Structure 1
Amino acid sequence: MTTAFPLLRLPYLVLMPVLEQMEFMDRIALSILSKRARMFLKLLKMKCEYINLILHDNRITMAVLFDDCEKLRVDIPMIGDREVLIIGYYQNLKYGHDSNEYDYIRWWPGTLSPMDYVLLIMDVTYCKSIKKLIFPEVSEYDAGYDTTIPLLTKLSKVDEVIVEDFTSNSFFYDSRLQNVLRIVFPVTSAVTIPYHALKPEEIREIIRGNFESVTVRKYSADYMPNHDMKFSLNDLKMTNVRSLKLAGPAFTLEDLIRYFKLWEKKKSNPRLKYLQVATRKSERSEIVRIFLKELNVVLGGL
């Protein structure tokens, strides 16, 4: 039989050196147990470089990178308590030792929601925003995915939302993905998404949004560019993003030329600073030649 040690009842001058000697992931584990523990651990100034979140079918994975190139990984189950919460710790990432092997601790989760654990770790590491919120290939029929929507409302800032490439029918039109994106778009400044993840009109709505960057990728790295990714001159005129990257021949050459003539006269999207539109390799040279001729542009030498 073991007796619990009243750690937090130690005098301050004794407690702080004890906390400083604890393993890093033990500090994080302790910080989410109580508000009082977190108050003391915040005094250690464990500031992180950034936090990425990956939302799987049935769990949230946090990747917390610190300025000393050490990385914390937290796996948080999203459905009930049939899995344990796992905190892992990678070391010496600056030497290229980032692998699937890491030291870890685990315990049964408490009464908090998964996103509350995320917020507590953000608090103790002085992180104000999520750098990347990643939606990998998931099955929307998994019970855990249904819990995602209410949890995401607790995030106040996300630097970039990424829907990863997928080759299966994991997402369908009118799926939960649309509802999830509607929640996080107001708090993010950048979006990366495969074209086939949403309907064309929903993609149009995204490129008209007030984002710093929008990247619409092709279906998969193994596929040719999307020949059905078609937008009009009016779609371009209605864009409101600073940087727009589109995979596939999304616009006709005539529309691109007309758009840039309007852009030069400041009659379309004054915020746009960067536009990238993929073309077929076999047609690239001819397209560039016509484009430069119509805009009366001469490429200078290096």
Structure 2
Amino acid sequence: MTTPFPLLRLPRLALIPVFQHMEPSEIIASSLLSNRAKNLVKILWKTSVNSINFLVDINDLSILAYLSNYYKPLRLHIKTKPVNGTISLSKWLERVLDVLNSYSIFQINLHGSPGLDVSDALTILKEVRYLYIMANCPNSFAKKALEILTPVTTETVMFKIPFESQEELEIFMKSNKKYLSIFIEGFSKLKFKMDAFLVSNSLRLLLREKSLSARSIKEFLSNWLQNEHHSPLEHLTMIIDESVDRLELLEGLGAAPFSEERTFHYSKELEILPNTFSGGYDIRRINGKKATISFEDGYQGTRFDFYVWP
């Protein structure tokens, strides 16, 4: 019979070299034993976090943490469906992030249909750089995660739209105040209208939707010219089909062509560089507000950019 080693009874000076020879996953496991163990690890384990990524799927939540003084990332997994007698997911995650001294997450990928307590665990996060809603993420969980994380997320990337109505989509567009990307084929087939972008509170939007017609894009531009909403939207990018008739799209908008090079700067600091482009078309609202339309052909289709100048 093996006698357990009384690790926590060692003097603090003796614990330091012990921690130095332990793997990060072993140190994290030790910190979960008790509050005293957690506090000792926080005091004696000297490390810093470069970035943390989350992956949530049907069965578990995975953490990938890149630590400054370790060449291999820290990998942790916990079942999202609670088992009797085990620590809750929220408590587990809170302790792990507390020991790592970081509640800031670089990237979260949401897949599958996890246990219900994942939503509670997400509420402890304070800052998220990228939130990815993957195509296999159930609508109910996607909407709950967006409700919780949108206020603390810089960029949301959606490979599906989890909303059933135009009204739901517009409510979400009003809540997202930074940068939103929608990578989805069939946006128009879902019977959503681009008018949702006119009420958006995002500074920058990206829509990858090749099935959009010149008519639907023109309708969006015409509505922008007539719209009384004071949306902070400054830049809309769409990847559209090369067959879209540009002359048809611009007809009746009072578009004035130009050929010089311009650089567009966002009114607030974003973690993206200003856009420089050559040539395009200017359109103006009655109140004098100017927007610019530019096209650029690429291997994935035609890039359509719509800039609203300050």
Q: How does the TM-score come out when normalised to structure 1? A: 0.71
Identity of aligned residues (%): 23
Displaced runs of 4 or more, over 6 A: none
CA distance in 2, matches of 1:227, 1:2: 66
Change in 2 beyond 3 A, CA 1:267/1:50: same
Contact 2:150–2:176 (Cα < 8 Å) also in 1 = no
Deviation at 1:80, TM superposition (A): 3.9
Summarize deviations over 1:81-131 as a string: whole Å, max 9, x none. 49xxxxxxxxxxxxxxxxxxxxxxxxxxx6311232222121111212222
Q: 2:119 aligns with which of 141, 149, 161?
A: 149
CA distance in 2, matches of 1:286, 1:246: 21
1:50 corresponding residue in structure 2: 51
CA distance in 2, matches of 1:29, 1:284: 60
- Which structure 2 residues correspond to residues 63-82 of structure 1 after superposition, within 5 A? 63-67=64-68, 70-81=72-83
Deviation at 1:282, TM superposition (A): 1.4
2:181 corresponding residue in structure 1: 215
| Partner amino acid, structure 1, of 2:237 | Q
| Partner amino acid, structure 2, of 1:147 | D
Contact 2:133–2:160 (Cα < 8 Å) also in 1 = no
The answer for unaligned runs of 5 or more in structure 1 is: 83-109, 220-224
Change in 2 beyond 3 A, CA 1:171/1:81: closer
Change in 2 beyond 3 A, CA 1:211/1:226: same
CA distance in 2, matches of 1:253, 1:65: 43
Any idea what SS the aligned residue of 1:228 has? coil
Summarize deviations over 1:9-65 as a string: whole Å, max 9, x none. 222222212222222322222122222222232233321112122221121111112
CA distance in 1, matches of 2:237, 2:171: 18
Change in 2 beyond 3 A, CA 1:237/1:37: same
Corresponding position: 1:190 with 2:155: yes
The answer for unaligned runs of 5 or more in structure 2 is: 262-277, 279-310
The structure whose residues are more often strand, as a share, is 2
Contact 1:31–1:37 (Cα < 8 Å) also in 2 = yes
Change in 2 beyond 3 A, CA 1:171/1:19: closer
Q: 1:121 aligns with which of 83, 96, 101?
A: 96
Corresponding position: 1:161 with 2:131: yes
Any idea what SS the aligned residue of 2:256 has? coil
When the two structures are aligned, how many residues end up with a matched partner? 256
Contact 1:46–1:126 (Cα < 8 Å) also in 2 = no
2:34 corresponding residue in structure 1: 34
RMSD: 3.2
The structure whose residues are more often helix, as a share, is 1
Q: 2:138 aligns with which of 148, 171, 175?
A: 171
Contact 1:259–1:268 (Cα < 8 Å) also in 2 = no
2:303 corresponding residue in structure 1: none
Corresponding position: 1:244 with 2:205: yes
Any idea what SS the aligned residue of 2:77 has? strand
CA distance in 2, matches of 1:211, 1:32: 37
Identify which range, 200-209 or 112-121, moves more after superposition. 200-209
